[in-house]
Amino acid sequence: MKFRHFPLAALLALSLTACNSSPTAEQVPGAATAAAPAATPATAAKRLLFFGNSLTAGYGVEPEQAFPALVGDKIDSLKLGYEVVNAGLSGETTAGGRSRVGWILRQPVDVFVLELGGNDGLRGLPLSATRANLQGIIDTVRRRSPGAQIVLAGMQIPPNLGQAYATDFKALYQEIATKNKLVLIPFLLEGVGGDRALNQPDGIHPTPTGHRIVARTVWAVLQPLLK
């Protein structure tokens, strides 16, 4: 197993470029293309790509402590033959993800873990936009990597913006998973969200211990798919 973490500077450059483009664009033009991942040899392992925000990127912890790297360690120990790529970007919204996903998928993937929407919810963005953006990402993955298994990571938010919004936000993930026949992680932060001992002082991002719990949650869903 090879674990790859996109440099933060490269992802920020992509995000800034993408925010000025159409949400349906599948390529990020200009200088950012120079930071594209190197071509993978034809004989390379299968690819598992985590695509998300600061939770995936491992904000506030070392890269090897974030849940994608921990899942990669598990894959390595079982010799399953996957290259694990962490394409998380702190601050990412579904709109930003929709703009950059085409660039990220310049190489095909076998398993695509989609972890976005939390920042939309915390900002109170319209759920119709979040739904459309997630659908756009899913559609792009299926065009670029038709055989890829897509895993959607569900998210929940506190009722600060009203209980109805929080309830509808939670339900959005099940709706999208059902519509697209996706594998769903019901709640990425199960057992971690809301627990001060497992989160950093901001109350949002897991500690290394919290990431270990998240990794177990993700692994329980991913393991049957990694053949």
Read off the pLDDT band of 86 (50, 70, 90): very high
Kindly report the number of other CB atoms within 10 A of residue 203's CB atom. 11
Residue 117 reports pLDDT greater than 50: yes
Dump pLDDT digits (tens) for 1-44. 455 655 444 444 333 333 333 333 333 333 233 233 433 344 45
Respond yes or no: is residue 211 known to be catalytic. Answer: no
| Residues 201-215, mean pLDDT to the nearest whole number | 97
Q: Copy the structure tokens of residue 29.
A: 């033009």
Work out the percent of the chain whose per-residue pLDDT is above 70: 81
Predicted local confidence at residue 2, as pLDDT? 52
In the set 5, 99, 205, 211, the catalytic residue is 205
Report d(CA 173, CA 186) in Å as an integer.
Answer: 8
Q: Would the pTM of this model clear 0.85, i.e. be above it?
A: no
Predicted local confidence at residue 18, as pLDDT? 33
Predicted local confidence at residue 5, as pLDDT? 58
Residue 92 reports pLDDT greater than 70: yes
Residue 133 reports pLDDT greater than 50: yes
Predicted local confidence at residue 17, as pLDDT? 31
Nearest to 161 by CA among 192, 196, 130, 195: 130
Phi, psi of 48, rounded to the nearest 5 degrees = -115, 120
Q: Copy the structure tokens of residue 108.
A: 């095909």
Respond yes or no: is residue 205 known to be catalytic. Answer: yes
Respond yes or no: is residue 90 known to be catalytic. Answer: no
Bridge partners of 52, per DSSP, are 115
Residue 207 reports pLDDT greater than 70: yes
Pairing of strands 82-86, 149-153: unpaired
In the set 22, 77, 128, 202, the catalytic residue is 202
Bridge partners of 86, per DSSP, are 5, 50
Predicted local confidence at residue 1, as pLDDT? 47
Dump pLDDT digits (tens) for 37-73. 433 344 458 999 999 999 999 999 999 999 999 999 9
Report d(CA 54, CA 205) in Å as an integer.
Answer: 8
In the set 54, 90, 99, 145, the catalytic residue is 54
